[in-house]
Structure 1
Amino acid sequence: MNRRFQCAILASAGLFLVSACGGSGGEDASSASSAPQWLAQLSDNSDGKDWPAFGRTYGEQHFSPLSQINADNVGELGLVWAVDLPAGNPATGPIAIDGTVYLASGYSVVRAIDVETGKVKWTYDPEAPQASGVKLRQGWGSRGIAYWNHKVITATQDGRLIALDENTGEPVWTTQTFGKDELRFISGPPRVFDGKVIIGSGGSDSGPVRGLVMTYDADTGEKLWEFYTVPGNPADGFENEAMEMAAKTWAGEWWKYGGGGSVWNAMTYDAVNDQILLGTGNGAPWNHKIRSAGEGDNLFLCSIVALDAKTGKYKWHYQINPGESWDFNASMDMELADLVIDGEPRQVVMTAPKNGFYYVIDRTNGKLISAEPFVEVTWAEGIDIETGRPIEAKGVRYEGGTTTFRPTPLGAHSWMPMAYSPQTGLTYIPAIDLQVTFDDTGVTAENFKWTPKMGLSPGVGYAIGDGGKKVTGWLIAWDPVKQEPRWKLPMDKHLNGGIMATGGNLIFQGRPDGGFSAYNAATGDRLWNFDAKAGVVAPPISYSVNGRQYVTVIAGIGTSAGLFGPMFTEYGIDYHTQKRRVLTFALGGKMTLPDNEPYKAVAFDDADYKENAALASKGEGTFNARCAVCHGTGAIGGGTAPDLRTSAAAADAETFKAVVHDGILVPNGMPQFEELDDKSLNALRQYIRSRAAALRSGKNENNVASTMKATD
């Protein structure tokens, strides 16, 4: 009997076979079992002993079939060990292979930890901040790593791809993926497939970047092929037919702006069809009126693009937002499954991108099957199934200068991965429900300029807020066949952690309030909660060593959460005092964590401060374009970088210049802004001092929307 037909019968009978019917159509069990253990674990049908990739397997489902820890006994789950991490980004996905957990925290500092003892076996520091230069100004370090043939593969902010020996941490090979002067950086995890490793890069928010992925031999580091996601200057010729086709969807002199389309996060390998799927990013700049004279779909922005895995040749695409103009990128995780839809088995790719619609797409040809909103969406009335195009709301392209809509550039779903459980047939989404106002009044193609050296330059001003809603985050169990929620839980805040589903009828997720919880995957009932003593943004993993199932997650706030300091102040999250830890759990674990000292932001002493609103306003533009992404809106830190209202460096002009202009803290991850002259530094310092003064006086310190001006 045809395997997929058999799955359809079982599904209609209400039965679930985790490995047989819920996979993505990857290697079958027999072929997986004949492969080396480490390679077999990358199959969606593997036994789950290891977690060797960001999403565990090629299909990126973030699902473990292990069931020793289950809905009946999860109450007995406890901490077995914890490893403290130094300051730096802790929001990263670990992997686990053959009794060792590997992770890259901070700026791609890789650690290997023995699972049974909790002892650090080795540490490798690529010293990425010192090598990054201006690239240090965007991104926060690594979100994850990969594994292939006894090598741990990491990527760095400055563009290196490095393979490390799994036993010693010594580099086996290193390659530079882009030029020193290119305004790109890497923050996403590399993916491995069929002896290859693929990596993209970011930068579309802050410079004339042209999206690009590169693929290398995973054993040697030799470059195999590359693919640009948007066309370059026609006068230079096109690299392939796909770029020639894409160029017909652009207008004006788009190549002068770069175009965008960065593949900074999502990539999924479809083993059955031997294709790699790319989730491409937003336009550079965001504003379609500037980037492409307001005309054309701008392929392959905000798209899923399928490439032949062996050659990198274009196969098909589906564009989620034609003529993208809101930072609605398609870079959120893409998960593969075989689903029965309208009585027929379909090979699908599923994604819940920023724009708030959940998409189910036929991955054999890129045709849209269905798309429905999973949060409140006001930018569009729906998706036309026949054309695959959104039915945009009137005025949403800010034709009149200003428009307000949901969701926001932060997305209805950010990079924190969702999970798909073949056991329940549901996808679990860490959803965000916020509102944004866009305003490009006075901004034109003629007066637009990129902020020098990777400052945020969207080409439109925007402000993000809750829009009066009390609930800004959800945990949603979504039925991808019926395209409706099975259940949904309100969360106190947005930006809740990545999700893992397991064969024990459980899902695990952390929250910025410090809770790490297990829920019944079928009903949403919370069955277990652990006080991690720090916010949890990173996705958890599960694996087995000597017959014992473990769950590992990394606690600590990092990445884009830092921008939203005003929304997180009640949690007392501070860059300097927050804990960053690798936490590992198993049944019967008894370890406890020490309590934290309560934290409340206290402004630095500034006896010489004098109010100067005009000067502070000038400094605010510079702060929004260059500093807020790490130090928080309104200089209210969210944990990714220090809260500058509490930093005495701004009280002294010479110290401030040494840090900001001279770059004395580059090794710590603080970029150098050598192009800022004394007038700009003085204005920036005045703005920070004004925010500290507001903290001292208690003037609405938490009532600050996330606002970015169009220019600085």
Structure 2
Amino acid sequence: MRFALPLLLLLLAACTPSGEARRDGSDWPGYGGIDENHYSPLTEINEGNVEKLKLTWYHDISGGGSSLSAPIAVNGILYYASGYSVIHALDASTGRELWTYDPQSWKVAGQKMRAAWGIRGIAYDNGMVFTGTIDGRLIAINAKSGHPVWTAQTIGKDDERYVTGAPWVFKGKVIIGHGGADFAPVRGYVTAYDQRTGKQLWRFYTVPGNPKLGFENKAMAMAAKTWTGQWWKYGGGGTAWNAMAYDPKYNRIYIGIGNGAPWNQKIRSPGGGDNLFLCSIVALDADTGGYVWHYQTNPGETWDFNSAMDIELARLKIGGKERDVLMHAPKNGFFYVIDRATGKLISARNIVPVNWASGIDIKSGRPIENPAARYPGGKAAVVYPSPFGAHNIEAMSFNPGTGLVYIPTMDQGRVYIDPAEPLKGWKHLNGQRISVGTGPAPAGVTPDRSATSFLLAWNPVTQSEAWRVPMPGLRGGGGTATTAGNLLFQGSAAGKFVAYAAKSGKPLWSFDAQTAVMAQPITYKARGKQYVTVIAGSRFPSAIGLPREWNYRAQQWRVLTFSLDGKASLPSAQPVDTPVIDMPDFSVDPAKVATGATVFGQRCSICHGANAVSGGMAPDLLQSGVPLDTASFKDVLHKGILRERGMPRFEELTAQEIAGLQHYFRQRAREVLAAQAAAKPGAQTHRGLNEGQ
């Protein structure tokens, strides 16, 4: 009996969440899983039994969703972020909520709320959950209790950076980047902190600053030689707003670097130059943050072809030799295999048709550019891919068993042209997004083919396509995860969550999520059983190009979890009447419509959709009664009464601009109603307010 108590304590300890995540696939502790590849070695759910997969539980997300957020799972607890980095802990086997932590970012984020929504991922290490916030904080949360342990402000006071990407954890450190270069004069950097205390350990800038102020290190002095003009007045860009990867073998952290600010190189660096480290993978010493090597995918980038997409690590047999490689599919349409030891290019090939370059020179590692793609001399150019990229933030994955990489892929083009008046400094023109530095497309200049999207299985050794599955819409495929059970999981814009055979691409199972599923799935074990979890909810700003229209007011954001013996089911989707509103006695003034269209395009379309047609990310304002009541409209725009629900303030809008928005909405409402009537002869149109708004 004297050993009973110690034995009991040992048993209890074995069942209690520890500080370390399990590396055998039982846990999924960070954005990329246990190995940065969005891969799981678990096989309980496999191609032979996946048809038996059933919904085990679901958890409704209230207060606005963050449907591109990747959950994590450690020691039987699932953690996810919703809204503005509100962190939830759920029992992974039942869905029962254990705690919620709200950093209340909406109270302090101010105009940063105009640029972004939510967080794409969180991380776990040493008994803590780490998250960034849109107002620039990095927060460590006790994983058991949900109480904050420490908070670090990662950006300067009143600057215009913000955080939407996941933190990365390694060797007692946590590292975070930021966004903002598309909206303001921002110079990118990443910062590493001590996990226990929140003390800053090191910072690495991704582009050089003003030479008169000196350079932080030799890497910045080297990079400055590749810039011209007074780039620092524009910030330069190079934000690390998304993917990174930790490499324990070489004790390095790889950083995916974003585009220039502004996009147009003729403005930020008028004499040309490579503009390091824009659009690069930069390898840093994990202990010191010191520069080790870089590989630049787009020297002198001018199209928003950033390299902030997934960085995946593997060991591949290439040319009869085993090599440690880094795999990367940035926006620019090429797939890169890079030597992790040296940073040298091994191979590269385009995964979609591109016209900005004819290929990548293997010896130099540089693209063989098409000069016309840089829209020289004020001449417009149709460039493939578009700024959305051939691959964007939807996670790709690598399966070592099949040897294939699975990439949510897009094929679409964009017209680029210099602006009529080059930027003379950097200003926020009443909130206008001016960092792009390109002008509107001239009449008649358009891409020569329709935009498409597909799931692509790519062989990184042979640089060739293995198979593909067409996706619906312009951006139809969500993030992916793959397993040793020869499975690949991916959601779609059409509302299906699908399991494919990883080798062949054959669909084996699907689930109707009742809304878009664009977030990446994860798989893990809880109480000895394998589960698959994904967050569902449309986050498309515009309905244009969607295979189905997802209504912000009608859809339900959810956490969905599946197992082989699941017995749950979703409630039937109930139709919600949210018609487009018109007011017969409202007299539309064309001049005011023009004012409103400009205001909407500059401030509102990023969330409420192109041409005021929402895709589910935010309410469709043509269906809302708020703009019809001037006092209520001003309460929203000037006082910010809906900030907690994600609607930022626009206190600078004048009475004339607000009136312009009202007239623009009524004009667009009548156009949409007319189109609906033409599409469905005899259908009734709705006039006036009703309870469905």
Q: Provide the TM-score with structure 2 as the length reference.
A: 0.92
Residue correspondence of structure 1 range 121-520 to structure 2 within 5 A? 121-399=98-376, 400-446=378-424, 449-452=427-430, 455=433, 457-461=435-439, 467=447, 469=449, 472-493=452-473, 494-520=475-501
In 2: Cα distance, 1:415 partner to 1:207 partner: 21
In 1: Cα distance, 2:146 partner to 2:19 partner: 18
Q: Report SS of the residue matched to 2:656.
A: helix
Amino acid at match of 2:268: R
- Unmatched runs of 5 consecutive residues or more in structure 1: 1-35, 703-712
Structure 1 residues 456, 441: closer, same or farther in 2, change over 3 A? closer
Q: Report SS of the residue matched to 1:698.
A: helix
Given that 1:574 and 1:599 are in contact with CA atoms closer than 8 Å, whether structure 2 keeps it comes out as no
Given that 2:543 and 2:549 are in contact with CA atoms closer than 8 Å, whether structure 1 keeps it comes out as no
Given that 1:660 and 1:672 are in contact with CA atoms closer than 8 Å, whether structure 2 keeps it comes out as yes
Amino acid at match of 2:29: P
- Given candidates 637, 648, 653, the residue that maps to 2:630 is 653
Deviation at 1:682, TM superposition (A): 2.7
In 2: Cα distance, 1:309 partner to 1:454 partner: 39
Deviation at 1:368, TM superposition (A): 0.9
Q: Provide the TM-score with structure 1 as the length reference.
A: 0.89
Aligned to 1:7: none
1:311-356, Cα deviation, whole Å (9 max, x unpaired): 1111111111111111110000100001111111111110111011
Given that 2:419 and 2:440 are in contact with CA atoms closer than 8 Å, whether structure 1 keeps it comes out as no
Given that 2:234 and 2:425 are in contact with CA atoms closer than 8 Å, whether structure 1 keeps it comes out as no
Residue correspondence of structure 1 range 657-676 to structure 2 within 5 A? 657-676=634-653
- Given candidates 61, 64, 79, the residue that maps to 2:55 is 79
1:67-97, Cα deviation, whole Å (9 max, x unpaired): 1100011000000100000123222100000
In 2: Cα distance, 1:269 partner to 1:530 partner: 34
Given that 2:185 and 2:426 are in contact with CA atoms closer than 8 Å, whether structure 1 keeps it comes out as no
Aligned to 2:673: 696
Aligned to 1:543: 524
In 1: Cα distance, 2:579 partner to 2:446 partner: 26
In 2: Cα distance, 1:202 partner to 1:495 partner: 25
Amino acid at match of 1:505: N
1:593-633, Cα deviation, whole Å (9 max, x unpaired): 12213467622233443333343233323322221111111
2:505 pairs with 1:529 = no
In 2: Cα distance, 1:666 partner to 1:235 partner: 41
Between 1:414-423 and 1:644-653, the stretch displaced more is 644-653
In 2: Cα distance, 1:511 partner to 1:284 partner: 32
2:37 pairs with 1:69 = no
In 2: Cα distance, 1:614 partner to 1:398 partner: 33
Given that 2:255 and 2:282 are in contact with CA atoms closer than 8 Å, whether structure 1 keeps it comes out as yes
1:647-684, Cα deviation, whole Å (9 max, x unpaired): 11222222222212332211111111112222333333
In 2: Cα distance, 1:458 partner to 1:276 partner: 29
In 2: Cα distance, 1:466 partner to 1:111 partner: 45
In 1: Cα distance, 2:577 partner to 2:407 partner: 32
Between 1:129-138 and 1:652-661, the stretch displaced more is 652-661
- Given candidates 642, 647, 655, the residue that maps to 2:619 is 642
In 2: Cα distance, 1:283 partner to 1:495 partner: 27
Structure 1 residues 619, 574: closer, same or farther in 2, change over 3 A? same
In 1: Cα distance, 2:406 partner to 2:303 partner: 25
Given that 1:656 and 1:685 are in contact with CA atoms closer than 8 Å, whether structure 2 keeps it comes out as no
Structure 1 residues 677, 289: closer, same or farther in 2, change over 3 A? same
In 1: Cα distance, 2:598 partner to 2:380 partner: 19
In 1: Cα distance, 2:621 partner to 2:525 partner: 43
Deviation at 1:143, TM superposition (A): 0.7
Structure 1 residues 289, 470: closer, same or farther in 2, change over 3 A? closer
Structure 1 residues 259, 525: closer, same or farther in 2, change over 3 A? same
- Given candidates 78, 84, 88, the residue that maps to 1:111 is 88
Given that 1:207 and 1:453 are in contact with CA atoms closer than 8 Å, whether structure 2 keeps it comes out as no
In 2: Cα distance, 1:592 partner to 1:456 partner: 47
In 1: Cα distance, 2:434 partner to 2:601 partner: 8
Given that 2:189 and 2:239 are in contact with CA atoms closer than 8 Å, whether structure 1 keeps it comes out as yes
In 2: Cα distance, 1:593 partner to 1:183 partner: 41
2:657 pairs with 1:680 = yes
1:567-613, Cα deviation, whole Å (9 max, x unpaired): 12x51301121111111100021211122134676222334433333
Structure 1 residues 118, 412: closer, same or farther in 2, change over 3 A? same
Q: Report SS of the residue matched to 2:241.
A: coil
Given that 1:416 and 1:498 are in contact with CA atoms closer than 8 Å, whether structure 2 keeps it comes out as yes
Deviation at 1:456, TM superposition (A): 5.5
In 2: Cα distance, 1:479 partner to 1:472 partner: 21
Given that 1:499 and 1:509 are in contact with CA atoms closer than 8 Å, whether structure 2 keeps it comes out as yes
Structure 1 residues 508, 466: closer, same or farther in 2, change over 3 A? farther
Given that 2:380 and 2:441 are in contact with CA atoms closer than 8 Å, whether structure 1 keeps it comes out as no
Amino acid at match of 1:512: A
Q: Report SS of the residue matched to 2:31.
A: coil
In 1: Cα distance, 2:662 partner to 2:434 partner: 19
